[in-house]
Structures are given as C-alpha cells and as structure tokens.
Amino acid sequence: MAWSSCDEEEMQYPEFNEVTYMKDPQFSLGMLFSSGAIFRKAVRQHAILHQRGIRLKKNLKEKIKWICADGCSWKCYGIQQQRSTSFQIKTLYNHHTCNPTWIQKQVNSTWIAEAYENEIRMNPTCPVKAFHSRVVNDLKCNINQSMIYRAMKKAKDNILGKHEEEFGKLYLYANELKRSMPLSTIKLMTDPPETGTNRRRFKRFYVCLEPLKEGFGEGCRPLIGLDGCHLRGPFGGILLTAVATDPNDGIYPVAWAQVEAENNDSWDWFLSLLKTDLRIENSGSFTFISDRQKGLVNALEKQVPSSEHRFCVMHLYRNLWHGNRGIGIRKASWFAARSTTEFTFKKHMDILK
C-alpha cells in the first residue's frame, strides 16, 4: 500500500536538509522539517519542478495539508511536533495519477526572483522577453511577462540591498585583514562626507596581503602583468590587478584594487602603492606587461620610468586583427612577438602584413 500514517514518535525519521535537498525535494513518511515555512516551501518547490498542480487544503500554524489541484489522490499532510517548531509528514500519498499541468499556480514573482537571483545578478540588463522565454522553457508552465518583470525587479532590489550592506562592512573587513595579517597593505578610500551627514561614499579599495608580498620577494621573477576589467553588478567600477610569475611560470596574484574608473589617476594611485609593497627601488630590473591602456602607460612612465614595458600579445592580437581572426594570424603574431632578432621579427611582421 502506497500510503499510511505514522504515530511512532520514538522512531528515527529522516530530516529534510533545506540547503541541499531544496534543489529537488523528495519526501517520505515521517520526514522532519525545521519549520512549517520550510515544509510549505519544499512541497511547493517539488510541485513546480515536476509540473504538478497542488493546493493548500488547510494552512494553520500547527497543521498544513496539501492536496492535488487536479483531484487525484496525491496528498501530503504535515503536523507541528509537540513543544517544537518543527514539522513532520504524517500522511503521504506520493503518486499523482493526473497528468503534468501547464497551469502552475504555485509560481509567483518572489519564487522566480529567488530561484534566478544569481542569473539576474550576472546579467542585470537581460530583456524581460528573453528572460520570460527562458523561465517558461525551464518550468514548462504559463507565466505572464508582468510576473517576470516583477520578479526581475524584486531580484535586483534584493541584490542592490545586499551590495549596499556589503559595502557598509568594508571597514570591518579591512580591520580584520589587518588584525590577522598585520603586514598587509589595505587602503580604503572614501569621498568626503556629504554636507549635513557623516555618510561617506566609497571610492577605492586596495589589497596586498602579507603572505603574497613575502612570496613575491622570495620566489617570483620581476615580471608583472597589469590589467583592469569592468565589474558587473549594480555599482559597476573597475577591478585593477597585478600578477607576477612564480618559478614554475604560474600566475601569482600580488595585489588588486577596486576603483571608480581606469584612468591616469587610478593607475597612478595603484602603482605607487604596488611599488612600495614590492619594494621596487631600482625599477630598471623590473618588466611590466600592459594592454596599452593610456592611463596605465602614463602611470608606468611616471612611477617606474626606468623599467621595461611590454604589451600583452593577446590584447594586441585582439585589437589589431579584430575583423580578421584566425589561427594563421594568431600564430604569425606570436612568432613576431617571440622573435629574438630584428631580422626574424621583420620577417614575421611582413607575413602579418
């Protein structure tokens, strides 16, 4: 018989782990949930993922009864345990004899916002129409575009709130880094407070951790790659990075910073801090690689005037041969870059031309 009731309190029952089981909840008689809300969420999740129509027959503090909306025998009843907030499945008939449904009433904008939060964070400008097709295709149910619009708005508000909260914790984070690794360099720069308030606006954040500084001095070659990339997310900004090469020719991170834009001023600030951290006194023995970003080139000339400056071949290749990609051109670029004599360099440049 597929369904029964359980009363034996002393038995060991499976516990529903909301962190790992929520991706595809499975139920068994006697299963324990940490609260009624988790029980409701898990049953709803299961119905949405398996295209089943279900509805609440009873929704009380101490008793929750789910039944099939199509009228088949499926049912799942949970009861609050005595002197506890946890819920237990007391009745379960876990088999639908009805057909999967296209009309899913358990999906709402909050559910979509939560389920797709990461994707909305990575692609906040995704058009509503495209996101709508994606969700309908995933869930195979009728969702209108206005629900998708509300879900995207909720997710973005949520993400924005979290980001704001995290920016507010930067002072604590910087202090903790300094406490655990006292020789690290951590710089948090803010704009002056607005008139009438003591709220400061974030400007820049620089990190060079103590072990990375030491490791660089002990084993890395004086060859440093510098690059900046745009940060996704509600506040944007640019991430500046400095990487070195370790004795195995592996990439070795040295320092990074979040700045407002990639320009003369921000690169100059980053390089002056990096110079102190890596104890670059005689810059002539160092080589820097860049992507030819104008602000960076100027800052290098100012901060480390006697060091060698090289351009990243991948960036050159991408910029120069944008409409002309291909293995042949890429190989010729690398041959030219790796040439050790003027004669071979000219030969490969002629092939490129």
Q: Distance (Å, rounded) from C-alpha 173 to C-alpha 179?
A: 10
Closest of 254, 336, 318, 248 to residue 288, by C-alpha: 254
- Closer to Zn ion by Cβ: residue 74 or 205: 74
C-alpha to C-alpha distance for 223 and 349, rounded to whole angstroms = 25
- Give the list of residues 6+ apart from residue 141 with CB closer than 8 angstroms, or none: 48, 51, 101, 102, 103, 104, 107
Q: Is 105 in the site for Zn ion (CB under 5 A)?
A: no
At its nearest, how many Å lie between Zn ion and the CB of residue 74?
4
Closest to Zn ion by CB, 74 vs 286, is: 74
Minimal distance in Å, beta carbon 98 to Zn ion?
3
Of 95-103, 141-149, 165-173, 230-238, the window that binds Zn ion (rule: CB under 5 A) is 95-103
Yes or no: say if 182 and 171 are a contact pair by the CB < 8 Å rule: no
Kindly give, in sequence order, each residue whose CB lies less than 8 Å from that of residue 284, ignoring residues fewer than 6 positions away: 306, 307
Count of residues interacting with Zn ion (CB under 5 A): 6
Site string for Zn ion, 51-70 (x = CB under 5 A): -----------------x-x
Q: Is residue 98 near Zn ion by the rule CB under 5 A?
A: yes
Query: What residues are paired with 255 via a beta bridge?
Result: 242
Q: Of 96 and 154, which CB lies nearer to Zn ion in the complex structure?
A: 96
Nearer to Zn ion, 27 or 288 (CB): 27
Helix (H) or strand (E) run with residue 345 in it: helix 342-352
Asked if 96 touches Zn ion (CB under 5 A), the answer is yes
What percent of the chain is helix, strand and coil (3-state, nearest 5)?
Answer: 40, 20, 35
Q: Which of 72, 126, 177, 316 binds Zn ion (CB under 5 A)?
A: 72
- CB 136 → Zn ion: shortest distance, Å? 22
Q: Which of 16, 21, 74, 87 binds Zn ion (CB under 5 A)?
A: 74
**124, two tokens:** 């906040």
**Complex with Zn ion: residue 101 or 307, whichever CB lies closer:** 101
**Selected range binding Zn ion among 92-100, 197-205, 286-294, 329-337, rule: CB under 5 A:** 92-100
The smaller minimum CB distance to Zn ion, of residues 73 and 142, is found at 73
CB of 101 to Zn ion, least distance (A): 8
Nearer to Zn ion, 98 or 170 (CB): 98
Q: How far apart are CA 228 and CA 240, in angstroms?
A: 4
- The answer to the question of residue 3 lying near Zn ion (CB under 5 A) is no
Q: How is residue 284 annotated by DSSP?
A: G
Closer residue to Zn ion, CB minimum distance, 56 or 98 = 98
CB of 323 to Zn ion, least distance (A): 57
191: which residues sit within 8 A by CB, 6+ positions away? 200, 201, 202, 203
Q: DSSP secondary-structure letter at 12? A: -
Contact between 92 and Zn ion by CB under 5 A: the answer reads no
User: How many CA atoms are closer than 13 Å to the CA of 139, on its beta-carbon side?
Assistant: 29
Q: Which segments of 135-274 are extended strands (E)?
A: 185-190, 202-208, 221-230, 238-245, 251-259
Which CB sits closer to Zn ion, 76 or 139? Answer: 76
In the window 202-231, what residues touch Zn ion (CB under 5 A)? none
Measured from the CB of residue 100, what is the shortest distance to Zn ion in angstroms? 9
Q: Binding residues for Zn ion, per CB under 5 A?
A: 68, 70, 72, 74, 96, 98
